[in-house]
């Protein structure tokens, strides 16, 4: 086995640090007027690129019957094109490996993170502009249908993006693969270990991993077995095989359809300049309360030999978020507590989310009844119930150092099986059945499922 | 068995005619200015109800890379609320029966058609307005989860409606059910026979029937067996059980996702008055060419003892459409030729459609290469290849006497297995797997599947 094929875990940090040193990065916040090729539309105040490509920051007006606020306005990232996030898999000596890249994004915490084999825009993929093709694109374009392990369209953050979707694609190959400088092959058990570290495996990898097919699906690809002694991992894997849970799949569909019918979220774009309660200063578009998030501008200098410089807007969150699953054993099978979550920008309007996803600081002064259900339970959990606890980053190409605490807490048998109407218990197998179809499971649930190693 | 429980087939016509006679209906076309409670907005020219309820006719501006016309504008029905179409099922002596209504809709051909047990608006269902509840609503509201046979959100006609969805709901009951005057119980084999008649079983019944779960799904409900001697029916049913077809389900997902990525259909509402190439006369909103469809106004008088009168806009198609499946046996299993169909108003943007759905007259003068694929094949089919041929209506609450020829033609072994990229062969079982999830299969494919008895 050549050294390209595998990076022993104890050599990972040396390699990763070396990659970080190999590139020079400077990120600097700048006032909007120093943005190059980006500007505010004189009519609408929308922030966009002169070419009309990439994305624009527009206003969004939202009316909903979900939550305590029936109407609000906010800036939103409008990026209607579908991008591709791709993982390339190859077996060496019968063990599947995944090809990942140590990649810089301007908003990344620690500057570089492990990224998928392929991150391609729609124009990259369809080669409309005939520019330089992204590395490894051909493996995805030319994959024989029987070598495609997963392929589905998935939503991104509905509080930040308007109807943004990415194609999540996993492909196996038998061909020889040249391993380029920033790339390495990883075993799935290594990935499982790296996912327990903070801000190392990026969001794009996590969402694609969540699309791995259920373990009893009859496909040839089985990523890995839980490590010996990892009791929780073994139970997760069992829950990814068992077809029957507390509810039949038809019951889950019935519940989900009813929730989708109960909640409406009508969102329409408006000129950014007309977005009430939001202010534009020289270097920031912010809510007058200072809460939620702001839009900022950055100048980036990157490169080792050749230096590339560009400027772009980024979105910066006002506070760290919390994303958590309560899990519980029911009749011997591990179940996840899932919520039906309406959101303004998601494609499915109401999608399946983790038990909790919120910015806890926003609720700090509120009485318990006004706080999101199960938030206090998650935050008060003792260490012996904590099955996963790490800080993970959102996508660094759009978000400036945005991170969320990811928590999985196992509830005991005293935890009620009866939950509020918007919540339901399901197995990993059942949640994966929803992920396989597009627009059913939100990005927070998908990424947390991957982070906890439920594949 | 009481007479309420079952209507022998030879008594059907007498009952149905009697129901038609029992109600008096007068439909009259009127100029727009005679509409009561409906009017044109002075700013936008949109046509709406004074209450803001029901629906509005607005303008739609569409940009797409699908087809030969990259941009167009058209009127569109905007009705964002989710309605419910429900079928109530009960077994008598072990045989499942479905409760249907002989129901008048203003746009219906023949005035009354067989309709689902329940057609409820969102406000009916959530009882926001506390008005009179629709008949049988409680059976659907109170159904125990394990008695729900199917429950999913589905798109309607994407060329006429903007993001219209209905909840398609099938519920079984063991309770005693009072059979109201316009209602009767039907066996599924009767329904199969009635679906071979023109314009009798309405569109709402057909779409809900298409949501019946696959036959090998392990549920307790099995509607019926094909009649003895109905070879095609038996092969349809086999194709609704067999899991393996020419392609694995993962291959179908891979193809579908690629098609969804290839085509974009960006649609945004515009003021109806700014909709280019459309003209408003005293009694019609029409395309300047006279093609496509027009918006008209009608006055309706209905009732037996109590007479109800109202006025409303309706949409009238310029020509009869054609909806057809080419089917073919592959390795001993019947397959349907399905297309990935982009449409302006559908929720999923690109959904699975039948082999052909178009208005053939629009292509009459075009060279064969410009006509929709497989249209000529369907139209030229000999009688011995014709498995289904009937004229079926679109929803009479919105469409004025709109009908489509529904065709199923079985191709021989000389018909090519290799089809254009936007088309793929799949079994009934596989198409039903897509129907089970929301926003994947369009209304034309669903209704034709039901009409041909593929349940």
Residue in B closest to A141 by C-alpha: B258
Query: Does the structure show a pLDDT above 60 at B21?
Result: yes
Is the CA virtual torsion B415, B420, B421, B427 positive or negative?
negative
Contact A248 B146 (CB under 8 A): yes
Q: According to the model, what pLDDT value does residue B125 have?
A: 75
Residue A445 dihedral angles phi and psi, to the nearest 5°: -65, -40
| B55-80 pLDDT tens trace | 999 999 999 999 989 999 999 999 98
Predicted ipTM? Answer: 0.93
| Residue B268 Cα, gap to closest chain A Cα (Å) | 10
Report the pLDDT value the prediction gives residue A180, as an integer from 0 to 100: 95
Q: How confident is the model at residue A2 (pLDDT cuts 50, 70, 90)?
A: very low
Determine how many CB atoms are found less than 10 A away from the CB of residue B391. Answer: 14
Among the partner-chain residues A213, A255, A437, the one whose CB lies closest to the CB of B437 is A437
Instruction: Tell whether B279 is within 8 A of chain A (Cβ).
Output: no
The Cα angle at residue B155 between residues B149 and B161, in degrees rounded to 5: 145
Higher pLDDT, A279 or A146: A279
Of B125, B153, B213, the CB nearest to A257: B153
What is the enclosing helix (H) or strand (E) of B189? helix B188-194
How far A141 CA sits from the closest chain B CA (Å)?
10
A144 touches B: beta carbon within 8 Å: no
Inter-helix orientation angle B428-436/B249-262, to 10°: 60
pLDDT digits over A119-133, tens only? 998 877 776 656 678
The alpha carbon dihedral of B436, B437, B441, B444 has a sign of positive
Mean pLDDT rounded to a whole number for chain A: 93
pLDDT of B364 reads 87
- pTM for the whole thing? 0.95
- Residue B446 Cα, gap to closest chain A Cα (Å): 18
Cα–Cα distance list, B231 to A257, B192, B195, B243, B409 (Å): 36, 14, 17, 20, 14
Bridge-partner residues for A337, per DSSP? A425
Q: Decide if A219 and B250 are in contact by the 8 Å CB cutoff.
A: yes
Dump pLDDT digits (tens) for B298-322. 999 987 677 789 999 999 999 999 9
Most B CBs within 10 Å, among A168, A250, A265, A425, to test the B interface:
A250
Inter-chain CB proximity A257 and B122 less than 8 Å: no
For A74-109, what is each residue's pLDDT tens digit? 999 999 889 999 999 999 999 999 999 999 999 999
The interface residues of chain A toward chain B in range 203-242, judged by CB-CB distance below 8 A, are 213, 219
Rounded mean pLDDT, B334-338:
98
**B125 to A261: CB separation less than 8 angstroms, yes or no:** yes
Residue of A nearest to B122 (CA): A261
Collect all residues of chain B within an 8 Å Cβ-Cβ radius of residue A153: 257, 260-261
* Alpha-carbon distance B215 to nearest alpha carbon in chain A (angstroms): 14
- Residue B194 reports pLDDT greater than 50: yes
Instruction: Judge whether residue B441 has pLDDT over 70.
Output: yes
Say what the pLDDT of residue B347 is: 85
Rounded to whole angstroms, what are the CA distances from A44 to A40, A48, A274, A281, A298? 8, 11, 8, 16, 22
**The pLDDT value given to residue A129:** 58
For residue B250, give the nearest of A148, A254, A258 by CB distance: A148
User: How confident is the model at residue B3, as a pLDDT?
Assistant: 46
Q: What backbone torsions phi and psi does residue B409 show, to the nearest 5 degrees?
A: -120, 130
Spans of all domains in chain B = 24-455
- Averaged over B96-114, what is the pLDDT? 94
Q: What pLDDT score does B2 carry?
A: 45
Whether the predicted pLDDT of A243 surpasses 90 = no
A167 at B interface, C-beta within 8 A: yes
Examine the pLDDT at B128 and tell me if it is beyond 70: no
Which chain A residues are within 8 Å of B148, Cβ to Cβ?
250-251, 254
| pLDDT at residue number A236 | 93
pLDDT over threshold 70, residue A319: yes
What's the pLDDT at B362? 87
Residues in chain B within 8 Å Cβ distance of A128: none
Residue B296 burial class via C-beta count within 10 angstroms: exposed 0-12, middle 13-18, buried 19 and up = buried
What is the predicted pLDDT for the residue at B4? 53
> Angle at CA B447, nearest 5°, toward B444 and B448?
80
CA distance B387 to B383: 8
Residues near B91 by Cβ (< 8 Å), separated by ≥ 6?
B97, B172
A427 CA: distance to closest CA in chain B (Å): 18
Q: Which CATH class is domain A24-455?
A: alpha beta
Which chain A residues are Cβ-neighbours of B264 within 8 angstroms? 80-81
Alpha-helical segments (H) within A45-177:
122-126, 137-141
Cβ pair B260:A436 closer than 8 A: no
CA dihedral B47, B52, B53, B57 (to 10 degrees): 20
Residue B184 pLDDT:
95
Q: How far apart are CA B327 and CA B169, in angstroms?
A: 28
Cα(B375)–Cα(B380) distance, integer angstroms: 9
Asked whether the beta carbons of residue B254 and residue A145 sit closer than 8 angstroms, the reply is: yes
Question: Whole-angstrom Cα distance, residue B65 to residue A81?
Answer: 13
The position carrying tokens 């009732």 is B303
In contact, B338 and B351? CB cutoff 8 Å: no
| Inter-chain residue contact B264 with A80, CB threshold 8 Å | yes
Look at residue A3 and tell me whether its pLDDT is greater than 80.
Answer: no
Q: What's the gap in Å between the CA of A317 and the closest CA on chain B?
A: 30
Spatial separation of the C-alpha atoms in residues B380 and B371, rounded to whole Å? 14
User: Tens digits of per-residue pLDDT, A181-202?
Assistant: 999 999 999 999 999 999 999 9
Q: Average the pLDDT over each of A225-229, A271-275, B255-259, B285-289 and give the range with the smallest value.
A: A225-229
Other beta carbons less than 10 A from residue B288's beta carbon = 9
Residues of B in contact with A436 (CB under 8 A): 253
Distance from CA of B17 to the nearest CA of A (A): 37
Lowest mean pLDDT among A335-339, B137-141, B352-356: B137-141
Cα–Cα distances (Å) from A37 to A41, A46, A48, A76, B447, in that order, read: 12, 14, 8, 20, 50
Tell if the CB–CB gap between A257 and B146 is shorter than 8 Å.
no
- Which residues in A lie closer than 8 A to residue B169 (C-beta atoms)? 257
Whether A151 and B253 lie within 8 Å, measured CB to CB:
yes
Q: How far apart are CA A399 and CA B26, in angstroms?
A: 61
Asked if the C-beta of A260 comes within 8 angstroms of chain B's C-beta atoms, the answer is yes
pLDDT over 70, % of chain B: 97
- Contact between residue A353 and residue A339 where contact means Cβ atoms under 8 Å apart: yes
pLDDT score recorded for residue A58: 98
B147 has a chain A CB within 8 A of its CB:
no
Nearest CB to B257: which of A153, A213, A261?
Answer: A153
């Amino acid at each position: 086995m050549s050294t390209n094929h595998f990076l022993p875990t104890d050599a990972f940090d040396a390699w990763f640090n070396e990659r970080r040193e190999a590139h020079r990065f400077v990120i600097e916040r700048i006032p909007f007027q120093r943005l190059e090729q980006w500007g505010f539309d004189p009519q609408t105040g929308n922030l966009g690129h002169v070419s009309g490509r990439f994305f624009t920051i527009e206003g969004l007006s939202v009316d909903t019957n979900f939550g305590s606020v029936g109407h609000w306005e906010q800036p939103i990232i409008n990026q209607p094109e579908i991008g591709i996030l791709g993982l390339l898999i190859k077996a060496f000596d019968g063990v599947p490996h995944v090809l990942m890249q140590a990649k810089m994004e301007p908003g990344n915490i620690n500057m570089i993170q492990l990224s998928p084999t392929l991150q391609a825009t729609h124009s990259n993929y369809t080669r409309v502009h005939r520019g330089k093709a992204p590395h490894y694109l051909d493996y995805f374009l030319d994959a024989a249908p029987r070598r495609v392990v997963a392929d589905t369209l998935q939503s991104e953050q509905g509080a930040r993006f308007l109807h943004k979707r990415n194609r999540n694609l996993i492909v196996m190959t038998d061909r020889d693969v040249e391993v380029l400088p920033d790339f390495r092959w990883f075993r799935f058990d290594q990935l499982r270990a790296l996912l327990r570290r903070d801000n190392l495996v990026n969001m794009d990898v996590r969402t694609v991993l969540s699309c791995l097919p259920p373990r009893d699906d009859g496909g040839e690809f089985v990523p890995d077995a839980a490590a010996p002694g990892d009791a929780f991992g073994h139970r997760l894997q069992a829950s990814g095989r068992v077809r029957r849970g507390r509810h039949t799949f038809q019951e889950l569909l019935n519940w989900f359809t009813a929730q989708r019918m109960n909640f409406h979220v009508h969102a329409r774009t408006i000129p950014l300049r007309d977005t009430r309660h939001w202010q534009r200063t020289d270097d920031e578009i912010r809510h007058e309360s200072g809460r939620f998030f702001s839009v900022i501008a950055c100048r980036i200098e990157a490169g080792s030999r050749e230096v590339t410089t560009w400027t772009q807007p980024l979105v910066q969150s006002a506070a760290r978020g919390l994303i958590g699953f309560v899990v519980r054993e029911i009749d011997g099978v591990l179940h996840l507590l899932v919520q039906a979550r309406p959101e303004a920008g998601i494609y499915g309007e109401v999608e399946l989310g983790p038990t909790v996803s919120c910015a806890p600081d926003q609720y700090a002064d509120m009485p318990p009844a006004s706080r999101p259900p199960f938030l206090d339970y998650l935050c008060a959990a003792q260490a012996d119930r904590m099955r996963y606890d790490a800080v993970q980053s959102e996508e660094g190409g759009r978000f400036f150092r945005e991170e969320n605490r990811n928590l999985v807490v196992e509830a005991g048998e005293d935890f009620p099986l009866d939950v509020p109407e918007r919540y339901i218990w399901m197995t990993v197998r059942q949640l994966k059945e929803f992920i396989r179809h597009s627009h059913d499971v939100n990005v927070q649930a998908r990424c947390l499922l991957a982070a906890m190693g439920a594949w």
